[in-house]
A and B are shown apart, each in its own frame.
Chain A
Amino acid sequence: MSSIARAPQPAKASFVNDPKVRGIVYQIVLVAVIVGLVWMAASNAIENLRAAKIASGFGFLNSTSGFDVSQTLIPYSATSTYGAAFIVGLLNTLLVAAIGVVLATFLGFLIGIARLSSNWIVARVATAYVELIRNLPLLLQLLFWYIAVLRSLPEPRNSLGVGTSVFLNNRGLYIPRPVFAPDAWIVLAAFALGVVAAIGYAVRAHRRQAATGQQSPVISASIGFVVGLPLLAWAVLALVAANPISFDLPIKGTFNLRGGLQVFPELVALTLGLVIYTAAFIAEIVRAGILAVSKGQTEAAHALGIKPGHTLRLVVIPQAMRVIIPPLTSQYLNLTKNSSLAVVIGYPDLVQVFMGTVLNQTGQAIECVAMTMAVYLTISIATASFMNWYNARKALVER
């Protein structure tokens, strides 16, 4: 009865309804569930592994692998260790990713710009390409390139020749192999020097233009440095000593090709499939990026009397790049991850070698899966941090 007489007190929230308390309880429950699941999984795994008599730990990396890999960038044989097999697979993945990224960027930009072309048929063909390629699974495309195209190429004796020194047959692509004489390093050093000189010249030209407004012939000078210096070194060496870099050309014999560098059909098919697939996505990114630059920018540039080529290079592309680069990086990442489809056509990439052969031979699923995933995760995180850095650098500075 006395409560009626008293002034109404604000009702104190029940302990159960306090959001802070609830939050702590939720988190404790979540952690308990996760720990419980992990503990259960781990104890089951230990028991199952013991029952199946499978060792655990990373000791297997030092034991002999006993299998061969068709394509290796480092010396590797059946007597090498599982650790070496891991490196071989990793390098093969990085190889196809690197080639793929470069070619896909090139093709993607080409098609993205073609989609915006004023030429009706070019724009239509580019659109058709993008729509067709984006809507088909990569796996289907890889099988098509590998089985329907490369496997049905002629036998080596009937190799298709591109020019006189590049051959294509069902055992792969044969290209000239550079052979380096002992003093070939001078040419390579000249090339490196040329690159450094070109960069230095470009930086200086930029500063000069900023200070005085005078332009320097950056492009021709760069080409001169990068191409000219190695050529000069090569010519001097060829005159003074022997030819420093010669090419071992593939020669068509009666039954087989001799010499040259054989690129395995698996690598060709995988590169082809990845490049064509990723280029379709890159094309869309490029198109969206260019469309994102407002028309007023182009019109203003034209009004200032800037030529169309310069408008594209100095006004549109720098602004479009800000929109293009972040999704482009994630496409590079996708390409790297998609290279794991190599397993379908038997290209010895990381997944095929390590999650396939090594896992099957040793049965150490947890270690193999964890190591492979760690590699991809590292690449992802490295790319993501690069992207954040780039975004921070290129973001519009607004007041």
Chain B
Amino acid sequence: MAVQSLSGGSLSYVQARQSDPLPPPTLVRGPIAWARQNLFSSVPNTILTLVVLYLLYLLVPPLVRFLFIDAVWTGADRAACREDMAGRPVGACWAFVVDRIGYFTYGAYPVAERWRVDVWFAMLAFGLGWLLWLKAPRRDIGAAYFFIVFPIASFVLLTGWRAIGLEPVSTAFWGGILVTLLVSVVGIVFSLPFGILLALGRRSKLPLVRLACVIFIEVIRGVPLITVLIMANTMLPLFLPAGITVDRLLRPLVGVAIFASAYMAEVVRGGLQAVPKGQYEGAMSLGLGYWRMMGLIVLPQALRIVIPGIVNTFIGLFKDTSLVYVIGVFDLMKTIESARIDPQWAAPTVSNTGYAFAALFYFLCCFGMSRYSLMVERRLAAGQRR
């Protein structure tokens, strides 16, 4: 009754009639709703989705066909991987990688002595695991192992020492993943201590120390790695007294160590700057000297902050080790380059297979490291999270 009387009155904005029920809500869950929201929400989005899908259609199926479906998994020589001989379309020639995996891993390291390289790989994995696993016990011993014991043991193990029954193996025979890892490890083992020293020097109050460190860091960071490597390769022998020959593998190692130190120094400097001034002042008020202040108070905090930065630098270094290829050191890329033109495996898809193998190796290593760095970053940020 009341409604009737109102509608009959002058209140024209009051609805006279109950409105129709709204249609039920469109799908809000389920795959179709998801696609509508995320892929086809508007006309430009739909076009974009279709374009990307078309690109994926162009790219992914041939790749899958090349890598897996048409791939040749077994075979002894090029006959298995040539279309005219195998009688079917041939994709990746994994048989080539299987056949040459020893060469890709050890280079020309004598077959009878390859167990030494395997032991070295295991020692490396052990040391890295100890250092990188954040909850590992006694990581200080781990650091001592990785930065002191491990380098000496590696040297003895890989180059050989007659007195303990290890045949000497010339570095000219080293190659493949062994050299790639070796160059990276030398880079990290030397760059971390030198980088810390350079970073401390750059923030030192002594003007000459600061100047020397700044010049070193900025010059090295300002030039490409290739020029440093070529410099190490051509100029190192010049700077040493006549008669001293520098090992062909040692030269790039020196170059990489110098190069990595400069980059590491900047990473560590970032950490030093992030430590609050109160920490320095607190240490000084306790009467600690410079080295104890740095070693006991500042560096432990600074290094913890820059673990992700160190890992990122290491990823860059790991990728850059491939440049030793340029000065003729047989790293993984160089072994692939020399194996892919071997007439025994002369087949059209062998080169691409070699590159695919290298890509897989580098991607797994670098992607794993970057995930690790993200994980550490998240853990370090946990204290700041609200």
Contact = CB atoms under 8 A, between A and B. Distances in A.
B283 interface: no
Contact of A340 (B48, B205, B224, B234): B224
Interface in A36-51: 40-41, 44-45, 47-49, 51
B230 A147 contact: no
Contacts of A351: 224, 226-227, 230
B362 interface: yes
Interface in A121-172: 121-122, 125, 131-132, 134-140, 143-144, 147-148
A228 B205 CA distance: 61
A123 B323 CA distance: 32
Nearest to A333: B222
A376 B223 contact: yes
B268 to A, nearest CB: 18
Interface in B283-320: 315, 319-320
B335 interface: no
Interface stretch (A184-192, A247-255, A257-265, A366-374): A366-374
Interface stretch (A27-35, A233-241, A266-274, A388-396): A27-35
A23 B210 CA distance: 12
A338 interface: yes
Contacts of B323: 139, 341
Given A48-B237, A135-B370, A351-B230, A120 B355 contact: no
Given A137-B319, A355-B230, A376-B224, A44 B39 contact: no
B208 A365 contact: no
Interface string B209-233: 1001000001101111111001100
Interface residues of B, number: 54
A56 B45 CA distance: 65
Interface string A325-369: 000000000000110110110000001000100010000011001
Contacts of B261: none
A48 B242 contact: yes
Interface string B30-58: 00000000110100010011001101100
Interface string B53-77: 1011000000000000000000000
A292 interface: no
Contacts of A136: 319, 359, 362-363, 366
Interface in A268-316: none
B205 A23 contact: yes
B363 A27 contact: no
B53 to A, nearest CB: 7
Interface residues of A, number: 52
A341 B226 contact: yes
Contacts of B53: 121
A385 interface: no
Interface centre among B49, B55, B227, B326 (most CB of A within 10 A): B227
Contact of A143 (B55, B240, B333): B333
B91 to A, nearest CB: 13
A30 B208 contact: yes
A51 B240 CA distance: 13
Nearest to A52: B238
B49 A121 contact: yes
A42 to B, nearest CB: 8
A220 interface: no
A340 B358 CA distance: 21
B325 interface: yes
B165 interface: no
Contact of A376 (B227, B238, B239, B363): B227
17 contacts: A27-B209, A40-B239, A48-B242, A117-B48, A119-B38, A119-B49, A134-B366, A136-B359, A136-B363, A137-B320, A143-B355, A341-B326, A355-B227, A372-B227, A376-B223, A381-B218, A381-B222
Given A351-B226, A380-B223, 6 more contacts: A23-B206, A48-B238, A139-B333, A140-B359, A340-B226, A355-B230
| 9 closest Cβ pairs, A-B complex | A380-B222, A135-B366, A120-B38, A41-B239, A337-B224, A365-B234, A137-B319, A340-B224, A27-B208
Interface of A: 23, 26-27, 30-31, 34, 40-41, 44-45, 47-49, 51, 117-122, 125, 131-132, 134-140, 143-144, 147-148, 337-338, 340-341, 343-344, 351, 355, 359, 365-366, 369, 372-373, 376-377, 380-381
